[in-house]
């Protein structure tokens, strides 16, 4: 199994429980340096679009939360080269989240609409479930995956702060966005701010299989 664009190894370590060996690569040497160690995961710094793996080296290849950043013109032939006939390619990622219609409406007004122009265009590929990404093999039917996440209101604000679009908006307009959003979201949280609730995250999965 090859986990390309592995980041800090979260997916690679989970995959190691199901595969005898996981080769995990990332373009960022810093990410690899801080990756989670596991005896079944072998980390290397390499671009996904150009590796030194042998031809037909893998039964399966995956990309977690990163395919929208790849140069698909270069990655597709590399995938075809290293994936065995009959092999599986899967890409997945998560996007926005929902709590309830009232909370969601305030979140949109205070955060999502103001930062809309600051998202990189590539994020649209993720939000569309990677359906617009050209892949050379037939698609497989995949299940609809429910991704519940437990968080209090502070955790929600911390997660929003991690978004690249929020950081870019803050650089352009100052740091008042999330402070004002937190004040507006608190009354519609429906519980004390420290109370944990279940957020429903959108999860996108696309899988294809290389013909025999």
What's the pLDDT score for residue 124?
94
CA 118 – CA 106 distance, rounded (Å): 19
* Inside any domain, residue 132: yes
Expressed as residue numbers, the domain containing 118 is: 47-209
Domain presence at residue 106: yes
Give backbone dihedrals phi and psi of 187, rounded to 5 degrees, phi first.
-65, -25
Cβ atoms of 189 and 153 within 8 Å: the answer is yes
163 within some domain: yes
- CA 129 – CA 133 distance, rounded (Å): 9
Beta-sheet strands, E only, within 109-196: 147-151
pLDDT, residue 211, reads: 97
Q: Which pLDDT belongs to residue 95? A: 85
Tens-digit pLDDT string for the chain (212 aa):
999 999 999 999 999 999 999 999 999 999 999 999 999 999 999 999 999 999 999 999 999 999 999 999 999 999 999 999 999 999 999 989 999 999 999 999 999 999 999 999 999 999 999 999 999 999 999 988 989 999 999 999 999 999 999 999 999 999 999 999 999 999 999 999 999 999 999 999 999 999 99
Q: What CATH code is carried by the domain that includes residue 83?
A: 3.40.50.150
73 in a structural domain? yes
Model pLDDT, residue 17: 95
Question: How many domains does the chain fold into?
Answer: 1
The answer to the question of residue 164 being in a domain is yes
**Assigned token pair, 133:** 């990404």
- Is residue 2 assigned to a domain? no
* Residue 134 maps to a domain: yes
Q: Is residue 123 in some structural domain?
A: yes
**What does the buried/exposed string (b/e) look like for 69-84 if buried means 16 or more CB atoms within 10 Å of the residue's CB?**
ebeeeebbebbbebbe
């Amino acid at each position: 199994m090859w986990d390309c664009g592995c980041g800090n190894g979260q997916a690679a370590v989970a995959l190691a429980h199901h595969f005898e060996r996981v080769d995990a690569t990332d373009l960022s040497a810093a990410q690899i340096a801080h990756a989670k160690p596991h005896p079944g995961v072998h980390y290397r710094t390499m671009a996904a679009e150009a590796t030194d793996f042998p031809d037909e080296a893998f039964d399966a290849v995956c990309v977690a939360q990163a395919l929208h950043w790849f140069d698909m013109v270069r990655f597709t032939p590399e995938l075809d080269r290293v994936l065995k006939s009959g092999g599986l390619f899967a890409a997945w990622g998560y996007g926005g989240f929902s709590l309830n219609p009232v909370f969601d409406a305030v979140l949109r007004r205070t955060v999502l609409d103001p930062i809309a122009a600051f998202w990189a265009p590539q994020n649209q590929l993720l939000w569309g479930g990677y359906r617009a990404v050209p892949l050379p093999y037939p698609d497989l039917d995949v299940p609809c995956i429910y991704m519940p996440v437990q968080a209090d209101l502070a955790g929600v604000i911390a997660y929003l702060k991690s978004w690249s679009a929020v950081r870019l908006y803050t650089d352009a307009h100052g740091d008042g966005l999330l402070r004002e959003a937190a004040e507006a979201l608190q009354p519609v949280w429906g519980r004390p701010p420290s109370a944990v609730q279940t957020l429903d995250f959108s999860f996108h999965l696309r899988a294809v299989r290389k013909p025999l």
